Each structure stands twice: as C-alpha cells, then as structure tokens.
Structure 1
Amino acid sequence: MRTLRIAAAAEAASLVLLLGNLFTVHAPALSALLGPLHGTAYLVVIAATWMVPSAAAPGTRWRALVPGFGGLLVLRRIGDGRAATG
C-alpha cells in the first residue's frame, strides 16, 4: 500500500510538472528526465494496484489504468472503504 501511495504521488506530480514544462519553457532536459519518471510511476501504480487485495472490488483495478491520476483514484476508492468488501 505504501508503494502505491508513493507511485501515485509521483505519477500525478510528474504529470503536472511535464505539463507545466510544456506550457512554459519546454526545456528538453526536463522532459527527458520527467517523461521516464512518469512512465515508470504509471506502470508501478498499475502493478501495485493489482497486487493489493482490497482493490478487488469491481472497477477499482481498472482505475489504475487512467493515465496521470489513476493512482489517486485507486487510493480514494480503497481508502473510503467501498473496496473492502472483496
């Protein structure tokens, strides 16, 4: 669960930074650093979500596939208790 929280935060933050870079200075070095970080965080969110037993409720695991903020959607779903029935 801790891995999922860290990866979800990294996924969302890296997307915000990538878009901020795109709409402001568009520094290629920053894009080269943040792009792989965002992609790795996205894959870690998907893998970690499928490994969490409380994410077995219908629709919870598929939320991890939403690019950018899927990890935060999964954490919200798991954290409010609706996914605990599985």
Structure 2
Amino acid sequence: MTVLRLLRVAAAVEALSLLVLLTNLATVHIGAVASLMGPVHGCAYLFVIIAAFRLPGLGRAGRLSALVPGIGGLLVLRVFPHP
C-alpha cells in the first residue's frame, strides 16, 4: 500500500471515530464505547501525522494541517496535490 492510500484510510478512521465519540458523549455516554474508540481515535490521529510527514510532495501547510485533531487527515487530503 502506498502512503497516500494509508493516509486516506487513517483520515477516515480518525474522522469516523471522532464522530462516534462525540455522538456517544451527546447521547447515552456509554463508558465502553469511549474506552474503545478513544484509543482508536488517538492511534489514527498519530498515524495521520506520521503519514503526512512521510508523504512526498506535501508542503509545509499540509504537514501542519495534519496536527489539527479530528479532521487533520481530511485537511491533508484536501491540500495534497493529487496526481
């Protein structure tokens, strides 16, 4: 798999896990959901940062946008000049 494909997967997992966490917090607040999705979201966030810094052709703004929690991966994909 290429770095770009892995970044796409990690960005989707990061955004989806944040959505699940916020929905859980706003509705029923089940502790098990938070215990499961919190580490998943954290790992996806870290993976997005690492993948963004390893992605060739990505500028400084793209790398810095990876540091935005929750939507950083989506921002990187938006800034990255796709072939």
Whichever residue aligns with residue 64 of structure 2, its letter is W
Whichever residue aligns with residue 77 of structure 2, its letter is L
Structure 2 residue runs without a partner (length 5+)? none
Question: What residue number does 2:13 align with?
Answer: 10
Tell me how large the CA RMSD over aligned residues is: 1.2
Percent identity of equivalent pairs: 54
Whichever residue aligns with residue 19 of structure 2, its letter is V
Partner Cα separation in structure 1 for residue 82 and residue 46 of structure 2: 24
Residue from 56, 63, 66 that aligns with 1:64: 66
Runs of 4+ aligned residues of structure 1 deviating over 6 Å after TM superposition are none
Question: What residue number does 1:25 align with?
Answer: 28
Partner Cα separation in structure 2 for residue 14 and residue 42 of structure 1: 10
Partner Cα separation in structure 1 for residue 54 and residue 82 of structure 2: 18
| Structure 1 residue 31: Cα displacement | 0.4
CA-to-aligned-CA distance 1:9-32 (integer Å, 9 cap, x gap) = 000000000000000000000000
| Structure 1 residue 79: Cα displacement | 4.1
| Structure 1 residue 54: Cα displacement | 1.7
Structure 1 residue runs without a partner (length 5+)? 82-86
Whichever residue aligns with residue 49 of structure 2, its letter is I
